[in-house]
Amino acid sequence: MSGAPARSYLFVPGNRPERFDRACAAGADAVIVDLEDAVPASDKRTAREALAAWVSPAHPVLVRINGADSEWFRDDLALCALPGVAGIVLPKAEQVKDLARIAAAGAQRILPLIESALGLWNAPALARASRVERLLFGAIDFSVDLRIKEGHEQLLYFRSQLVLVSRVAGIEAPVDGVTVAIEDFALVGDDTGRARALGFGGKLCIHPKQVPIVNAGFAPSAAEQDWAARVLDAAANANGAPVALDGKMVDRPVILIARQMLDDAARHAARSQPC
Q: Residue 244 pairs with which residues in a beta bridge?
A: 249
Mean local confidence (pLDDT), 71-81:
97
Q: How confident is the model at residue 97 (pLDDT cuts 50, 70, 90)?
A: very high
Centroid of chain to Cα 166: 12
**Average pLDDT of the residues of the chain:** 92
Question: Does 4 or 15 have the greater pLDDT score?
Answer: 15
Domain spanning 8-217: which superfamily? Phosphoenolpyruvate-binding domains (3.20.20.60)
Give the pLDDT confidence of 163-190 residue by residue, as tens digits: 999 999 999 999 999 999 999 999 999 9
* Predicted pLDDT at 237: 82
pTM of the predicted model over 0.85 = yes
* Predicted pLDDT at 3: 61
Mean local confidence (pLDDT), 93-106:
98
Q: In 3-state terms, the chain is what percent helix, strand and coil (to 5)? A: 50, 15, 35
* Contact status, residue 135 vs residue 171, Cβ threshold 8 Å: yes
For the chain, percent of residues with pLDDT exceeding 90:
75
200 φ, ψ (degrees, to nearest 5): -70, 155
**pLDDT tops 70 at residue 275:** no
* Contact status, residue 220 vs residue 205, Cβ threshold 8 Å: no
Mean local confidence (pLDDT), 121-130:
98
Q: Where are the domains positioned within the chain? A: 8-217, 222-269
* Predicted pLDDT at 227: 79
Q: How confident is the model at residue 274 (pLDDT cuts 50, 70, 90)?
A: very low
For residues 198 and 234, what is the distance between their CA atoms, to the nearest angstrom?
Answer: 28
* Predicted pLDDT at 2: 53
**pLDDT tops 60 at residue 149:** yes
The DSSP line for 110-165 is EEEEE-SHHHHHTHHHHHTSTTB---EE-HHHHHHHHT---SHHHHHHHHHHHHHH
Give the pLDDT confidence of 242-265 residue by residue, as tens digits: 788 888 888 888 888 888 777 777
* Contact status, residue 225 vs residue 265, Cβ threshold 8 Å: yes
